[in-house]
Structure 1
Amino acid sequence: MHEVAALLAEYDRARTYTDELWKDLSPDEVTWRPHENSSAIGWHLGHQAHVAHFMIRNLTAAEPSPDLELDALMDSAQPERFRGALPTIKRLTAFRETVAERVHARMSDIAGGRVAAPGQMTVVATHLLTALINHEYQHDQWIGEVRAEALGHPLPPDPDTDRVLRLDGYLVLRAPGS
């Protein structure tokens, strides 16, 4: 149960790092696409939340989407050139916040034993949160590259935690015991 709480803190740290990569950008920079077969920073922001919602929904608790219209748009199976227009920054931010609240609620229920099969669900929760954290950082890499190389903005420092390292240039959560 303690590990789920610690991983939730790392999930929040990863989301905070994501926010440091984009919140100071203009709406035009967030929605700009380097080319037709590339995604905007805003798409990556929505996709991170979309994946978190689907993982929580499919692995721990069936629940409706917080924004059905965004589901197809934020699905990586949809080719970039067919993804359509991005929602407003306000809507993207609300989507990300709602999903994060749901992640916290469900993981807290699991950590608190307020689910059927709490031991089994704790194992699922630790792996799920590890995947969500690493997925957040995976897309942060692309966001950071566009931010720095294409838009000319400096990068924030890496997250201040001993639980994260760089592997092949990507931030990743350290495996337990490493």
Structure 2
Amino acid sequence: MAKLKLPDFVQVKEVGPRDGFQMEKQFIPTEEKIRIINALSRTGVSAIQVTSVVHPRAAPQLTDAEEVMAKIDRRQGVSYSVLVPNLRGAERAAPMEADEWELMLSVSESHNRANANQSVNESLKGHKKVMELADKNGVKVRGGMATALGCPFEGPLWTSSKSSGSVL
């Protein structure tokens, strides 16, 4: 088995303001979100996923995304990103002046349908339009894969290959 080569550099992105806040049942006041994000900006972390522009019914906690992005204190050396699920979200994100948009995609069909209400292929096709709008607005785009190591609906999505030692 080959040795794993570790990278020379790893960037840690704080996703608590988006991922953590969206799970809270009681609405967190906008000013409190801004205070927390500003405090995180001073910790030395180089990237923060501030919010998401999903439909407000999907994540009521993030309905104030525009106000939060407008009022945070942006520190030099910190990248502020927004999770963008689709073209409608990208249109909403465009005036926010985020440093980066993060695309939303699940590896498993069932999780992508539950999360984005569309198939993986439909999401990928939609990402092309999001990327075109990002390019027009001078925004960097990053993609990630949810459920890459397992799905809450389907279980493990990979197995070890007996012949090559690879996964997938």
TM above 0.5, yes or no, is no
Q: Name the larger-Rg structure.
A: 2
- TM score, norm. by length of structure 1: 0.27
- TM score, norm. by length of structure 2: 0.29
Structure with greater proportional helix content: 1
